[in-house]
Amino acid sequence: AQKVTQAQTEISVVEKEDVTLDCVYETRDTTYYLFWYKQPPSGELVFLIRRNSFDEQNEISGRYSWNFQKSTSSFNFTITASQVVDSAVYFCALSEERPGTASKLTFGTGTRLQVTL
C-alpha cells in the first residue's frame, strides 16, 4: 500500500527565510509519480509539480525547488526567501502507474506554513 508522510504539521518562518517542507513516501511500485499541491487560505488546491520515479533531477522554479531522492524515499520542497503569500497548507502526494485505469492519489496530511513579516 502507498503511504505519504509529512511529519511537519506546522512551520512558522519570518519573511525572507528559507524553508524546507519534508515528504517521505512508501510504495512497492517501480513506476510512480510524486506531486506537491498548495492550498492557500482561500481553500482551492493548486498543482505545483509532478515528478516521475525515473527522473531524480532536482527542479527549480523561481523561488521553489524540489529535491527527489529515491535512496531515502523523499521528495522535499524548499521555498527560498519566503514571502507572506507563501502562507498555505502544502500537500505531498503519490500515485502509482495504472495503465488502462485512473491512478489514485495518496496524500500526506499536509504541512501548514505560516510566513510572517
Partner 1 sequence: DADVTQTPRNRITKTGKRIMLECSQTKGHDRMYWYRQDPGLGLRLIYYSFDVKDINKGEISDGYSVSRQAQAKFSLSLESAIPNQTALYFCATSGPQLAGVSTDTQYFGPGTRLTVL
Number of H helices, E strands in the chain: 0, 12
The number of beta carbons lying within 10 Å of the beta carbon of residue 76 is 18
Q: Which stretch binds partner 1 (CB under 8 A): 17-25, 54-62, 68-76, 105-113?
A: 105-113
Q: What Å distances lie between residue 35 and 14, 38, 46, 108, 114, CA to CA?
A: 26, 10, 11, 10, 21
Q: Which of 80, 87, 105, 114 binds partner 1 (CB under 8 A)?
A: 105
37 in contact with partner 1 (CB under 8 A): yes
Q: Which of 21, 77, 110, 115 binds partner 1 (CB under 8 A)?
A: 110
The residues that bridge with 62 in the sheet, in sequence order, are none
Q: Which stretch binds partner 1 (CB under 8 A): 22-30, 60-68, 73-81, 93-101?
A: 93-101
Considering the complex, what minimum distance in angstroms separates the CB of residue 98 from partner 1? 9
Give the residue carrying C-alpha cell 524553508: 19
The DSSP secondary-structure symbol of 86 reads G
Residues making contact with partner 1 (CB under 8 A)? 9, 33, 35, 37, 43-45, 47, 50, 91, 95, 100-105, 107-110
